[in-house]
Structure 1
């Protein structure tokens, strides 16, 4: 566990906050041997992203967009995040993934992306 540093706050943007909390909780548990990630909050609206990001201290290092948003909305959410918290790492779950393949597919997608997200390659 010596490679794990200070906790990284993660926020989600999901219209189903309880599902977001549950799925990100699974991800956090699955990668806890590599990363110290804390789910610090969720916005269920695009308008709520900026105030949420501004309210969390230390500022979030990661933002995940859920799959219910269109690609255009995901782009808008990620842009708001980058303008509000310079250097924040973002990832968008492919639109429709939750509906088409279920929650396990979302968790698997996030687990496949987390190394790139943590390294800032997204």
Structure 2
């Protein structure tokens, strides 16, 4: 099946460093392009910006990724806001501090390994 025939999966990120989000998610998208047509459609650098970002994107995003700089409590809040705003959105919180431990390549590897489970979420 070619990439063109699959419907796009729209993804937003919540990362205080948008350039890093773009780079990491770009590498994830590239790694899974044979399987999924993922499009990174936005990034919020703040928790307060999550709801307005989600509401502003049409069609609505399918997935939200929280970066590892957020505490577990912040990730929980971000994911709750996402689900309250878009009940069908799939979310993933990268373990806090993982970027510091494994660097951007480790984050890409982690997300590529998790993507099937994330997309399969109900």
TM-score (norm 2): 0.95
Which structure 2 segments of 5+ residues have no match? none
Matches within 5 A, 1:93-104: 93-104=94-105
Which structure 1 segments of 5+ residues have no match? none
User: Following TM superposition, by how much is the alpha carbon of 1:2 offset from its aligned partner in structure 2, in angstroms?
Assistant: 4.9
User: What is aligned with 2:115?
Assistant: 114
Q: Secondary structure at the match of 2:27?
A: helix
User: What is aligned with 1:64?
Assistant: 65
- For residues 2 and 67 of structure 2, what CA distance do their matches in structure 1 show? 31
After superposition, what is the alpha-carbon deviation per residue over 1:90-119, rounded to whole angstroms, capped at 9, x for unaligned? Answer: 001000011111111100110010000111
- For residues 115 and 77 of structure 2, what CA distance do their matches in structure 1 show? 21
Instruction: Count matched residues.
Output: 121
> Which structure 1 residue ranges, 4+ long, deviate > 4 Å from structure 2?
none
Which protein is richer in helix relative to its size? 2
